[in-house]
């Protein structure tokens, strides 16, 4: 596996591979890899000859009171995990190489970014779309793989790619959970044993909502109240949002149906912000779904 640190060298490598007729897949990450990341890398390898994994903690997508400075980092571990998955290039831009002192340009998607995480993290998705746009230009991938745990991010990237007419296939990987149901996240390392018990409130809330839907309840207000009570029954939980949205438009739905996604954001002990999501009905996946969550 090759490690590339400078954007210019990344593009030179990609140009050589494209001239040689090789198909490139990109997996954008902020590092501190776990099995969810490894799954993205393996899926990318199924769709391309060469896999490029970017490792860059993007300052543009962090708010002033968020965890940029303490975001978990372990380059040696990340390099080992990427190499074990057969990654061709680990692209790890040096600080300052992605945004110089005079950087003034951003990329923004409207509409899809208004609610859910976008409503609670101003500027976050502009940071996401800007860095992904830069990665698309630098790496020149034929396809890119994103995880469904950040469902809104996936939807926003798809919209940006379509609106800007990029000939890049966006591939989704299903959300990956730990054995106890907690959605895999680099931020899980912040959780103490007691906090982890409270963190399970997200997956338990999703399970409760599915049980209620299976029992015939369809009104989102009734479902939201039940999920709220379930989450708040766990100590030190603060709900940021419980949203029932259309899986494509991300608009709130008053009555849930087969296209409804339940999305959650909960703060644990005022220190760790976790997100989770799931479709409320079991539905058959299709090629058009591109592995949308069940």
Kindly write down the DSSP assignment for every residue of 94-132, as one continuous string: PTTSSS-TT--------STTSSTHHHHSTTHHHHHHHHH
25 close to 51: Cβ distance less than 8 angstroms? yes
Which tokens is 220 given? 């989102």
Give the pLDDT mean for 178-206. Answer: 95
Residues 11 and 50 in one domain: yes
**Which residues does residue 159 pair with via DSSP β-bridges, in sequence order?**
none
| Residue 181 placed within a domain | no
Please determine, for residue 127, whether its predicted confidence score (pLDDT) is greater than 60: yes
Residues 98 and 219 in one domain: no
| Residue 50 placed within a domain | yes
Domain tally, the chain: 2
Give the pLDDT mean for 272-290. Answer: 73
The dihedrals phi and psi of 33, each to the nearest 5 degrees, come to -65, 145
Residues 66 and 201 in one domain: no
Residues 40 and 145 in one domain: yes
246 close to 253: Cβ distance less than 8 angstroms? yes
pLDDT score at 65? 81
The CATH number given to whatever domain includes residue 90 is: 3.40.50.620
| Residue 81 placed within a domain | yes
Give the pLDDT mean for 90-117. Answer: 94
**CA 23 – CA 20 distance, rounded (Å):** 9
Secondary structure (H, E, C), 166-199: CCCEEEEECCCECCCCCECCHHHHHCCHHHHHHH
What's the burial of 6, exposed, middle or buried (CB within 10 Å: 0-12/13-18/19+)? middle
Cβ within 8 Å of residue 142, ≥6 positions away: 23, 24, 25, 48, 167, 168, 169
Residues 29 and 93 in one domain: yes
Please determine, for residue 271, whether its predicted confidence score (pLDDT) is greater than 70: yes
Residues 74 and 191 in one domain: no
| Residue 180 placed within a domain | no
| Residue 114 placed within a domain | yes
The CATH number given to whatever domain includes residue 212 is: 3.30.1300.10
256 is in which domain, residue-wise? 186-279
Residues 166 and 77 in one domain: yes
Give the pLDDT mean for 14-30. Answer: 98
Give the pLDDT mean for 111-135. Answer: 96
Please determine, for residue 240, whether its predicted confidence score (pLDDT) is greater than 60: yes
Residues 159 and 193 in one domain: no
Name the pTM for this structure: 0.92
Q: What percent of the chain has pLDDT over 70?
A: 96
Task: Mark 134-164 as b/e (b = at least 16 C-beta within 10 Å).
Answer: bbbebbbbbbbbbbbbbbbbbbbbbbbbeee
| Residue 71 placed within a domain | yes
Q: What is the average pLDDT score of the chain?
A: 94
pLDDT digits (tens, 9 = 90+) for 33-76: 999 999 999 999 999 999 999 999 999 999 988 889 889 999 99
**CA 128 – CA 60 distance, rounded (Å):** 7
Please determine, for residue 91, whether its predicted confidence score (pLDDT) is greater than 90: yes
| Residue 35 placed within a domain | yes
Going by pLDDT thresholds of 50, 70 and 90, the confidence category of residue 284 is: low
Residues 17 and 103 in one domain: yes
Last residue of a domain, one of 139, 173, 207: 173
pLDDT score at 70? 87
Residues 243 and 206 in one domain: yes
C-beta neighbour count of 233 within 10 angstroms: 12
Going by pLDDT thresholds of 50, 70 and 90, the confidence category of residue 234 is: very high
Residues 110 and 219 in one domain: no
DSSP β-ladder status, 24-29 and 143-147 = parallel
| Residue 285 placed within a domain | no
Which active-site residues does the annotation give?
37
Give the pLDDT mean for 217-235. Answer: 98
User: Left, alpha or beta for 31 (phi > 0: left; psi -120 to 50: alpha)?
Assistant: left
Residues 91 and 205 in one domain: no
């Amino acid at each position: 596996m090759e490690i590339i640190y400078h954007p210019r060298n990344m593009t030179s490598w990609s140009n050589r591979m494209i001239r040689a007729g090789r198909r490139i897949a990109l997996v954008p990450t902020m590092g501190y890899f776990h099995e969810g990341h490894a799954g993205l890398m393996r899926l990318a390898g199924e769709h391309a000859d060469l896999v490029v994994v970017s490792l860059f903690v993007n300052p543009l997508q962090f708010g002033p009171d968020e965890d940029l400075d303490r975001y978990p980092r372990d380059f040696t571990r990340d390099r080992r995990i990427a190499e074990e998955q057969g990654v061709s290039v680990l692209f790890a831009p040096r600080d300052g190489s992605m945004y110089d002192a005079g950087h003034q340009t951003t990329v923004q998607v409207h509409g899809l970014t208004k609610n859910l995480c976008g409503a609670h993290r101003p500027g976050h998705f502009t940071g996401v779309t800007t860095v992904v746009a830069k990665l698309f230009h630098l790496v020149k991938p034929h396809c890119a793989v994103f995880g469904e745990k950040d469902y809104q991010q996936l939807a926003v990237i798809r919209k940006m790619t379509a609106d800007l007419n990029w000939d890049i296939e966006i591939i989704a990987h299903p959300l990956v959970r730990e054995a106890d149901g907690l959605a895999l996240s680099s931020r899980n390392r912040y959780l103490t044993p007691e906090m982890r018990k409270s963190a399970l409130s997200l997956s338990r809330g999703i399970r409760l909502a599915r049980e209620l839907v299976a029992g015939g309840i369809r009104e989102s207000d009734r479902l939201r109240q039940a999920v709220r009570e379930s989450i708040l029954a766990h100590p030190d939980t603060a709900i940021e949002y419980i949203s029932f949205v259309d899986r494509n438009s991300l608009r709130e739905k008053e009555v849930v149906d087969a296209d409804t996604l339940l999305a959650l954001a909960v703060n644990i002990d005022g220190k760790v912000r976790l997100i989770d999501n799931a479709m409320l009905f079991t539905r058959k996946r299709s090629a058009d779904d591109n592995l949308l969550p069940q």
